[in-house]
Chain A
Amino acid sequence: MAPRAVAVVVDDGAVLVMHRLSDGAAYYTLPGGSVEDGESIEQACTRELHEETGLHGRIVGQVMTLDNRGRTEHYVLMTAERGELRVGEPEASRTSATNRYCPMWVPLTELADVNLRTGRGATGRDASPSWRGAGHQYGQGSDVRRGRAGVLEVATELSRRRRRLVGPAAPARVADVGAGTGKLTSLLVDRGLVVEAVEPDRGCLPS
C-alpha cells in the first residue's frame, strides 16, 4: 500500500486538523493522504494540505514515521500561509450526509482531549520525533513517543519554538475604539500591549 504523507501544521498554539464524519463515526485526523507514484513525501504533503484545507504550506522537515495498521505514515512538519479553510477535491465530491470533511484549528491545549486518530510506532520502529528536518538541528527526544503522543510533542515543541523565534510583542500602545464590554480589549491586554479602551457608553453599573 502506498505510504501516507501527513502534515503537522501549527500556528499560534493551534494545530490544523480535519474533523471527519464517516459512517456515523466522528473523529479528527491530520491532513494528509497517499504518496502518489513519482511524488516525494514532501510533495505529497504539500498537495494534500492544499486539497484538504485550501492552504499553501511550506516544508520544515520530516519528524517521524509511524505504522498505521500496516500502512506507513510519514509525519512532516509544515508552516502554512494563513487563509480561509475550505475542502477541495477529491474530498469535496466525496462529501455526503454521512461523510464530511471539516478542516479546523484545534488549540494545542485541547489536542490531547479530542479523538485524534494517528498511526502508532510499530515494534522495533523508532517513533520518536526527530527535529533534524530542513537543516533545523532541533535536538532529539530520548523518549520514544508514539502516535498521538508523538504528534502532541511535535506540535508543542514547534509552537514553543515559533514563539521564541517571533519574540514577545513590543509594548505598543493601541486604542480599542468602540470597545463595548471588552472582548477584544482582553485579548490585547493578554498580548502585553498598553491598551486604551474607548467606549461612549458608560453603562448603568456603579463604577
Chain B
Amino acid sequence: MLTVLTQDNPKAHPHQSVSDALQFDDASLDAVLVADAWHWFAVETTIAEVRRVLKPGGWLGLVWNTVTPALPWEKELAGVDPDRKGTPDADQTSLPFPAGETEYATFPWVWEITPEHYIANLATTSAVLAMTQSQRQSTLDGARSVLARASAERRRSTLSFHHSAACARWTPAKG
C-alpha cells in the first residue's frame, strides 16, 4: 500500500510503521489524522503515541466515511456493492476521549470519480476480495452495468458518489 501511496503522492513523506510506534519527535505535529482506519489500531498505546507527537494545541482527527446513496442509480448500486465502505459507523460513545476535549461533526460530501476508478476501488475492498472468483466477477459486472447506464444519462466521464463523513476531533488538554 505504501508503495502505491508514494507513487501517487510523491510530495508526501512515507513512513512504514504501525500507529503505536510513530517515527516522529515529541511535540512535532500539528495534527494526526486517521481516515477509516481507527478500528485497526491498538487504542491505548496509539493514544499515548498521539499525545507524545502532537504539539501543544494539536489535535487528533478521526473520520469514518459512509456511502449515502442519493440518486436512483446510486441506490441501485448500493444493492450491488456488498461493501458500503466496510467501516463501522463512528460510535461516539465508544471513543475513549474526554467529552470536554472532543468535538463531533458530520459532513456530506461528493466523490467525483470515473466509473473505472470506482470499479478499481470496489475490487480492492475487503468484502469483494473475500468472494470467490465467480461471485467477484458478477458483483463487478453488476456495478459496471449500473455505472454505464448512469454515465450515459449524465453524458460525462465522471459520476458523483454521495458520501457522509462522520468526524471526531480530540484536542488533548495542555500540560
| A contact residues vs B (CB 8 Å cutoff) | 14, 19, 21, 82-85, 102, 104-107, 110, 113, 172-186, 188-189, 194-207
Contact = CB atoms under 8 A, between A and B. Distances in A.
Contacts of A207: 3, 6
B70 A183 contact: no
Given A84-B164, A176-B35, A178-B37, A202 B108 contact: no
Tell me whether chain B's interface is mostly helix, strand or loop, or mixed: mixed
A19 to B, nearest CB: 7
B141 interface: no
A189 B11 contact: yes
Contact of B5 (A83, A177, A197, A204): A197
25 contacts: A14-B110, A84-B108, A172-B31, A173-B29, A176-B33, A177-B22, A177-B37, A178-B37, A179-B1, A179-B35, A180-B36, A181-B4, A182-B5, A184-B63, A189-B9, A195-B9, A196-B12, A196-B29, A197-B2, A198-B22, A199-B16, A202-B2, A203-B2, A206-B3, A207-B6
A28 B156 CA distance: 16
Given A102-B71, A113-B156, A199 B2 contact: yes
B14 A107 contact: no
Nearest to B162: A104
Given A173-B29, A184-B35, A85 B71 contact: no
A201 B22 contact: no
Interface string B4-25: 1111110111111111001110
